[in-house]
Structure 1
Amino acid sequence: MKQFYVCSCFFTRNIFVSKYDIHFNFHNRQQFLKEYGTILKQKGCDTDAKVNQLITEIQEEIERRKSLGQQTLKRSEEIQQKYTPLKPHVYNLQENFLAPAFLRLVEHCKLPEATKDSVVQKLGMETADRVYSFPVFTPQFCEDFIEEMINFENSDMPKGRPNTMNKYGTLLNELGFDEGLITPLREDYLRPITSLLYPDWGGDSLDSHKAFVVTYKLDQDLSLSYHYDNAEVTLNISLGRDFDEGSLFFGKMKGSPQPHDMGQCAEYKHKPTHGLIHRGQHMHGALPIQDGERYNLIIWMRSSKVRNQKCPMCDEKPHLVPTVGGGDGFTKEKKNVNVCAAS
């Protein structure tokens, strides 16, 4: 098995604080105040006490990230030993979980004559630039999966946060979904699609992922701020439940001129059982739900071939830090050995 790593920027960059709706970089207090002092005053963080409280919150998040690998391993072991699934069958992918239209799409993508144009023609109109929607799961699987998530949420098992932006949800690797469900879904069904749609973004070499479920409820998270993902390709599947509003919106690509300008965003109303696939660095967000609750399955798919050259979060050659599990999808590239010299 491959050994995966994280980039050292994971411990200093892109630390989201919802109160100020900002992703912060933090190296030390001096750098932080120089970089963010003005905007923080504009947002009401205008006293030493408020600044100190914010810095403490950021430092706590950094410490959480440093211990994330071991904490994930600890939680996973406890869950495997003590948790009893309500719907054990959903942990292992079966073809009858998948929508017939999705299976037909995958079979088409596997044909030798299949091209990007032929896939796009089958998918129909783009939601935004190179953003596509298609059914993935059956309604029955989605309902069973949601019931399993609710059962876990209501248990006394330890739970990790999906990321700094989503406070509510489930890390699927900790619950034991990777080997039986997510990995075969990525390798056997999604990669034929991404190979044709996103070869320039590592779609033909996706070799790891981070998968999690996020929940939106009136008394919890309502929306998702404008951001990009730590992924080459993202699949966002609406599992369902009754909810109003909460449309997704897409803007520009990270790195384009004025990427945070939301003036011309394309909006998409997510359909239960459907997945929305897009490039990870496509800026996007979710508008607030007005009623009900929504469950989304997010799969950040990663290509070590691509990200080993440039970290998508700091835009530099990654400085690798060992971790447990899939990390952030970086690998150490093997150095070429001069056989003649070694013999």
Structure 2
Amino acid sequence: MIKSINPDNSNVTTTKVPNAHKSKGRLMQNSHKNHKSETYDDLKSDFSREIFSSLESYLPTDMLTISRAEKVKYMSNILLDYLPPGMRNRDQKQREYRRMILSNYKPRHQEIYVVDPTTFFVPTFLKAIYDNTEESIRSIVSEPAPGIFTFEMFQPHFCELLISEVENFEKWVNQTNFQVIRPNTMNKYGAVLDDFGLQTMLNKLMESFICPLSKVFYSEIGGSTLDSHHGFVVEYGKNKDTDLGFHVDDSEVTLNVCLGKQFSGGELFFRGMRCEKHLRTETHPKETFDYFHVPGRAVLHHGRHRHGARATTSGHRVNLLLWCRSSGFREMMKYKKDFSTCCAKCYQEKSKKMLQSIEEVKSVNNTHFSFSCFSF
């Protein structure tokens, strides 16, 4: 039972909050249109802060006035109900892993743990985001190939600080013999930035500085509803990874920014978008595009856009990657059967079937016309 007490101690009301361990929490079918959700910017949770802001407007009416802490508990239990048991265990292990790091690792550059727009971003990028119009966004972006967007993003000094922080983390890992989890199954080097305290900064980066772009360029794949991320740094060069095989990302939208240093090679090669079924199908010549990294410059692309990285032949290349995801879009995709809008092969097959159908209709009409000619 939760007690809500007015300052004068009058009109004491009690609200029963369902215990999610005993029964599944419920949400309203329709949102409370005039309800203003609380701010969750300072919330430390494994779920995106935007999820809580959105869910709050769907809470049962008698729960809108309870404390924020109880709302968070109630909504968290609802979200956990949708996680498979195996994923819950995995998330619990991840929380313990991160707690272990955060309680022992000492950051080198505290100033990069909170977004400071004027020191992070180049002026042209910042102005476009603050103007917040489609025209301003498009004015700073180039589209060298369909669906692939490039733009100047980070200040050189920020790139240097982030590289230095990653190097400091790697030094701590080596000194303590800590068993670190690498960014993904393909990279043997690099670090997950969320693991050592940069999760809040990256979440702000996604919400306030990537979403305005993805809303313009990727609205059809959840670009305006990004609510979670996986942020990491990868390293290529001598005694590091050299290249990266052909793959797609576990994201709706991927941000890839070269941080430095001096290097040769390492080009990204893109080979068209595919659904899971057609992942390894042939590439059409028009889908072929190579991108050359420049420190501070970002490339934004669809997560299902097939790509890889050629060998870094000399020097040391460091890149920041942010896999941005939309839980709403992923839920919708569970019921989707037509992927022709995001898979060239599906589009080709759909077009072929449409042409066949048209030819069949023409054939039937011609046959009908022939019989009509002999009916006099």
TM-score bracket for this pair, using the shorter chain length: 0.5 to 0.7
CA apart distance, 1:70: 3.5
For residues 78 and 258 of structure 1, do their structure 2 counterparts lie closer, same or farther at Cα, with a shift above 3 Å needed? closer
Inter-partner Cα distance in structure 1 for 2:292 and 2:318: 14
Equivalences, count: 254
Q: Is the 8 A contact 1:251 1:259 kept in 2?
A: no
For residues 229 and 315 of structure 1, do their structure 2 counterparts lie closer, same or farther at Cα, with a shift above 3 Å needed? farther
Q: Is the 8 A contact 1:75 1:159 kept in 2?
A: no
> Residue type of the partner of 2:316?
E
Q: Is the 8 A contact 2:248 2:304 kept in 1?
A: yes
When Rg is computed on C-alpha atoms for both structures, the one with the higher figure is 2
For residues 298 and 145 of structure 1, do their structure 2 counterparts lie closer, same or farther at Cα, with a shift above 3 Å needed? same
Inter-partner Cα distance in structure 2 for 1:72 and 1:82: 16
CA apart distance, 1:86: 1.3
Q: Is the 8 A contact 2:124 2:140 kept in 1?
A: no
> Residue type of the partner of 1:82?
N
Equivalent residue number for residue 301 of structure 1: 324
Equivalent residue number for residue 83 of structure 1: 105
CA apart distance, 1:263: 6.5
Equivalent residue number for residue 204 of structure 1: 224
Inter-partner Cα distance in structure 2 for 1:244 and 1:188: 33
Equivalent residue number for residue 235 of structure 1: 255
Aligned pair partner of 2:295 in 267, 272, 281: 272
Inter-partner Cα distance in structure 1 for 2:303 and 2:96: 29
Q: Is the 8 A contact 1:230 1:280 kept in 2?
A: yes
> Residue type of the partner of 1:141?
F
1:127 aligns with 2:144: yes
1:1-343 aligned at under 5 Å gives the runs 2=51, 3=76, 68-95=90-117, 96-108=119-131, 110-111=132-133, 114=134, 119-124=137-142, 126-155=143-172, 156=176, 157-179=178-200, 181-255=201-275, 260-262=281-283, 264=285, 265-310=288-333
Inter-partner Cα distance in structure 1 for 2:93 and 2:279: 38
For residues 101 and 226 of structure 1, do their structure 2 counterparts lie closer, same or farther at Cα, with a shift above 3 Å needed? same
Inter-partner Cα distance in structure 2 for 1:297 and 1:307: 24
CA apart distance, 1:72: 2.2
Percent identity at matched positions?
33
CA apart distance, 1:258: 7.1
CA apart distance, 1:79: 1.4
Inter-partner Cα distance in structure 2 for 1:305 and 1:166: 29
For residues 119 and 93 of structure 1, do their structure 2 counterparts lie closer, same or farther at Cα, with a shift above 3 Å needed? closer
Task: Give the 3-state SS of the residue equivalent to 1:141 in structure 2.
Answer: helix
Query: Which has the bigger relative contact order, CA under 8 A and spacing at least 6?
Result: 1
> Residue type of the partner of 2:246?
Y
Structure 2 stretches of 5 or more lacking a match?
1-48, 52-75, 340-376
Q: Is the 8 A contact 1:73 1:174 kept in 2?
A: no
Task: Give the 3-state SS of the residue equivalent to 1:216 in structure 2.
Answer: strand
Inter-partner Cα distance in structure 2 for 1:217 and 1:273: 19
Q: Is the 8 A contact 1:86 1:151 kept in 2?
A: yes
Q: Is the 8 A contact 1:106 1:190 kept in 2?
A: no
Q: Is the 8 A contact 1:208 1:303 kept in 2?
A: yes
> Residue type of the partner of 1:238?
C
Task: Give the 3-state SS of the residue equivalent to 2:295 in structure 1.
Answer: coil
Q: Is the 8 A contact 1:253 1:259 kept in 2?
A: no
The structure 1 segments of at least 4 consecutive aligned residues displaced by more than 4 Å after TM superposition are 1-8, 65-68, 256-260
Inter-partner Cα distance in structure 1 for 2:169 and 2:217: 35
Inter-partner Cα distance in structure 2 for 1:163 and 1:67: 19
> Residue type of the partner of 2:282?
D
Task: Give the 3-state SS of the residue equivalent to 1:140 in structure 2.
Answer: helix
Q: Is the 8 A contact 2:235 2:241 kept in 1?
A: yes
> Residue type of the partner of 1:175?
F
Equivalent residue number for residue 32 of structure 2: none
Structure 1 stretches of 5 or more lacking a match?
12-64, 317-343
Q: TM-score, normalised by structure 1?
A: 0.67
